[in-house]
Amino acid sequence: MMKVLGTSKFGRQNLAFSTDHPKPTPTKPTDLLIRVLYTDLNPVDHHKLNMKPDGTPTPSGCFIVGYGGVGTVESISPDATENEQQLLHKQVCFLADPRNDGSYAQYIVVDHRLVTVIPDGVPLEAAACIPVAGVTALECLEKVGLPVSNSNNGVVTPIMPSPSGDKHRLLIVGGAGGVGSWATQLARSVYGSNIEICCTTGSQESNDWCIKMGADVTISHDEVETQLGTGPKGSCDSIICLAEPTTAIFASLAEVLRPYGKICLVVAGERIKALDMSFIFFKCGTVCTETVFSSIRCGYYIDQASEMCSILEAIKQGRVTAPLSDAWEEDKSDWKNAAEKGGYIDMVGSGNVKGKLVMKVGE
């Protein structure tokens, strides 16, 4: 048996500790049993917990969220290959399959294709920031034409100038959260001064955070059209939208997109069904979407272990730092404290955290 932080009813307030949850075991040749040390905290945790009315019974008993973190590989399948055997007893960074029990638990079973070894010198709490937010940021950047994985050991990568002749501009809508913080740092670490990074924010505190992460400039969420160039020529080559793309937000993005520019949408919602693509079509722009779990659901199309490894190496080399929130303190990160009202779990659900929070999984 093992201890978990789960619920049998939907609703964040129904989360509770249980000590009699069955400890999972590896059953498939690709399975690894990991003793969780830190779990990644993300807004998606709250989305899953609150996706049905409060008090609605969960379909399969105790529902456990948490979709990434770090831990120690404790056991492997009897049919494991030599590659999986080499992971035994190693400290690893992992991304979790959202269809299975999550990482708000002492143990989790994870496919080895979602696991990479943490190099010496990288703190566990820093590595725990990577799986969901870091990988999402990396994949967003690649989709908007700014690949950052497996970069040349910190050597700044040249970038094609904007078709306008101006410096390539990356706009991040909602830049102060975990994904925005990672995207800013990763882009800056690879492209240096060859790229201009603009982040939208909602407060002076968020402005300061984004500049700390490496942004060149910040603007208010509602100033996209007034502060940036609009019309047929636009002013942004690459756009990552980390807010729900309402009709108004998407119209602003269409206005500032440069011809042949690229937009990546990360947050879905009902209003995504009614987006007006006409100006994007006129500019021959590209609109793509990003969800870090699509590769898992579709048969492991992407080597996400290598993506995590790339970010870990960037931390080890000092090219980026894990964007742990200024509010994070190790002695407050234990899951007993994090689960209390107003603790780290609630802070992440508020949507006001700058950077990342992670939770230490204890006894």
pLDDT-derived band at 169 (thresholds 50, 70, 90) equals: very high
Please tell me the predicted confidence (pLDDT) of residue 85. Answer: 85
Angle at 357 between CA 263 and CA 292, to 5 degrees: 35
Rounding to the nearest 10 degrees, give the CA dihedral for residues 51, 55, 58, 64: 70
For residue 158, the model assigns a pLDDT of: 62
Burial class of residue 2 (count of CB atoms within 10 Å of its CB; 0-12, 13-18, 19+): middle
CA distance 69 to 64: 14
236/279 Cα distance (integer angstroms): 14
**Average pLDDT of the segment spanning 66-79:** 94
Return the pLDDT at 157: 64
Counted residue by residue, the chain has a size of 363
Gap between the Cα atoms of 196 and 188, Å rounded: 9
Q: Quick: pLDDT tens for 103-161.
A: 999 999 999 999 999 999 999 999 999 999 999 999 999 999 999 986 555 555 667 66
Amino acid in the structure at residue 291: T
Model confidence pLDDT, tens digit, residues 289-343? 999 999 999 998 899 999 999 999 999 999 999 999 999 999 999 999 999 999 9
Residue 77, pLDDT > 90, answer no
Cα dihedral across residues 3, 9, 10, 15: positive or negative? negative
**pLDDT on residue 108:** 98
pLDDT of residue 260: 94
Residue type, 222: D
What distances in angstroms separate CA 109 from CA 23, 197, 279, 330, one per listed residue? 9, 38, 46, 25
Written as six digits, the tokens of 358 are: 């992670």
Q: In the prediction, which pLDDT does 81 show? A: 81
pLDDT of 160: 64
What does the pLDDT read at residue 204? 96
pLDDT at 239 over 90: yes
Q: Which tens digits make up the pLDDT trace of 215-237?
A: 999 999 999 999 999 999 999 99
Whole-number pLDDT of residue 348 = 97
Predicted local distance difference test score (pLDDT) of residue 363: 77
pLDDT for residue 96: 97
How many other CB atoms are found less than 10 A from the CB of residue 336? 13
Q: Name the residue with higher pLDDT: 238 or 272.
A: 238
Residue 1 scores a pLDDT above 80: yes
User: How far is 140 from 87, CA to CA, in rounded Å?
Assistant: 29
Average pLDDT over residues 170-179: 98
The structure's pTM equals 0.95
pLDDT at position 156: 57
**Interstrand relation of 257-265 and 236-241 (parallel, antiparallel or unpaired):** parallel
Q: What is the pLDDT of residue 151?
A: 56
Q: What is the mean pLDDT of residues 199-204?
A: 96
Average pLDDT along the chain: 94
Q: What is the 3-state secondary structure of the chain?
A: CEEEEEECECCHHHCEEEEEECCCCCCCCCEEEEEEEEEEECHHHHHHHCCCCCCCECCCCCECCCCEEEEEEEEECCCCCHHHHCCCCCEEEEECCCCCCCCCECEEEEEHHHEEECCCCCCHHHHCCHHHHHHHHHHHHHHCCCCCCCCCCCCCCCCCCCCCCCCEEEEEECCCCHHHHHHHHHHHHHHHHHEEEEEEECCHHHHHHHHHHCCCEEEEHHHHHHHCCCCCCCCEEEEEECCCCCHHHHHHHHHHEEEEEEEEECCCCHHHHHCCCHHHHHCCCEEEECCCCHHHHCCCCCCHHHHHHHHHHHHHCCCCCCCECCCCCHHHCEHHHHCCCCCHHHHHHHCCCCCEEEEECCC
DSSP bridge partners of 324: 356
On the question of pLDDT at 361 being above 80, the answer is: yes
Least confident of 51-55, 161-165, 199-203: 161-165
What's the whole-number mean pLDDT along residues 21-31?
93
The confidence score (pLDDT) of residue 154 equals: 54
